[in-house]
Amino acid sequence: MRKFLFLFLKGFGMGAANVIPGVSGGTIALITGIYQELISTLKSFNIKSLKLLFAFKFKEFFSHINLSFLIILFSGAIVGIISLGKFFKWVINLERVDQGQSILHGYEPVLFALFFGLILASVYFVGITIQKWTFSTLISALTGCAVAALLVLVKPNSESDDVLYLFLCGVIAMSSMLLPGLSGSFVLILMGNYYLIMIDSVQNFEVRVLAIVILGAVLGFVILSRLISYLLDKHKDVTLSSLTGFIFGSLAMIWPWKTILRAKILKGDEVKEVIIGYENWVLPSNNSFDILLILFIAIGFFTVFGFEKLGHYLKTKS
């Protein structure tokens, strides 16, 4: 029962994290220790699973696809998105007036600060799972870090409804959702097709665009889940060091002291703001709000250590 509860809470964290721009569910899966099982479970959707399903061997089918794991994890994720996700959105939409009397999304950086501390501490705990640090693992970590940091600086591409480009958007967006540290929606922004796919096509239910993107997403899901599973089996330390570096580099995306570029879009009868990029990273000052952000970074950082201590205690006790 305790195992299921912890799995539900991990799913809850994955769902809630998806609300924060720049934080991916894959990151939470990795830092909570379920990433490898998640990838292995996703990889189990193969020809063998279809044969078991069509042969009406439901017990073997459920066991093969690790159904109990998926139900508990995604139930937690759905609850996280609905409950804590609503709270996060409320915090993000709160406005405050700065010293220059400008209206800001003033409390959004508080969430960035909390998750920055959580992920920063988690990089350490993921890093210590690497059995042996060598030159190759170090280079992999540095490469992953550099790639993630550079992605934040990439300027968005122009929109395109070309069939091959839409298919590629689906492949890459799904792939990025399986990679810790990278948000699928942010990738679509960089490719210039966020509005076309996530807003216009969904709102107007444009079957042509959605069908092509979904086909690409399915291919990306099939390829990457198997590729990551293979790399974790054959080159575990190098793969984990790359992912660790990638997560560390992606911290630039949730650094609390930066300018968030937004654009207003019309969704139905409602005008909404969406993030289109970041700029002007700065260091904190000594004003009261920046001190609050530093405090939340510390809370996030030491929360991870607290949960690690709790997990170790419960494991030792059992």
Max mean pLDDT among 1-15, 127-141, 275-289 falls in: 127-141
11 domain residue, yes or no: yes
Cα–Cα distances in angstroms (integers) from residue 82 to residues 89, 94, 158, in the given order: 10, 18, 33
283 domain residue, yes or no: yes
Closest residue by Cα to residue 161 from 170, 153, 152: 170
Distance of alpha carbon 165 from alpha carbon 188, whole angstroms: 11
pLDDT tens sequence across 250-280: 888 788 888 877 777 665 666 666 666 677 8
- The whole-number pLDDT of residue 85 equals 60
pLDDT tens sequence across 179-225: 776 666 667 777 777 767 766 776 677 888 889 988 988 888 778 88
Distance of alpha carbon 210 from alpha carbon 60, whole angstroms: 33
127 domain residue, yes or no: yes
Whether pTM > 0.85 for this model: the answer is no
pLDDT tens sequence across 50-85: 888 888 888 898 998 888 998 998 898 888 777 766
Q: Is the pLDDT of residue 88 over 50?
A: yes
Residue 235's domain comprises 2-92+102-317
Residue 275, strand partner residues: 262
139 domain residue, yes or no: yes
302 domain residue, yes or no: yes
Amino acid at 254: I
Phi, psi torsion values for 272, nearest 5 degrees: -120, 155
Residue 244 pLDDT class (50, 70, 90 cuts): confident
Mean pLDDT of the chain: 78
- The whole-number pLDDT of residue 156 equals 66
- The whole-number pLDDT of residue 276 equals 67
Cα–Cα distances in angstroms (integers) from residue 227 to residues 25, 30, 169, 218, 255, in the given order: 19, 16, 19, 14, 30
Distance of alpha carbon 166 from alpha carbon 163, whole angstroms: 5
- The whole-number pLDDT of residue 229 equals 83
232 domain residue, yes or no: yes
CB-based contact 178:14 (threshold 8 Å):
no
Element (H, E) at 278: strand 270-279
Residue 43 in tokens? 């990889």
CB-based contact 181:250 (threshold 8 Å):
yes
Which residues neighbour 161 within 8 Å (Cβ) at sequence distance 6 or greater? 196, 209
Burial 164-203 (b: 16+ CB within 10 A, else e): ebbbbbbbbbbbbbbbbbbbbbbbbbbbbbbbbbbebbee
pLDDT tens sequence across 148-167: 888 777 766 667 788 888 89
- The whole-number pLDDT of residue 296 equals 92
97 domain residue, yes or no: no
Number of domains in the chain: 1
pLDDT tens sequence across 89-148: 676 666 655 544 444 455 778 888 888 888 888 788 778 878 888 999 999 999 989 988
- The whole-number pLDDT of residue 278 equals 74
Burial 280-299 (b: 16+ CB within 10 A, else e): eeeeeeeeebbeebeebbee
- The whole-number pLDDT of residue 92 equals 63
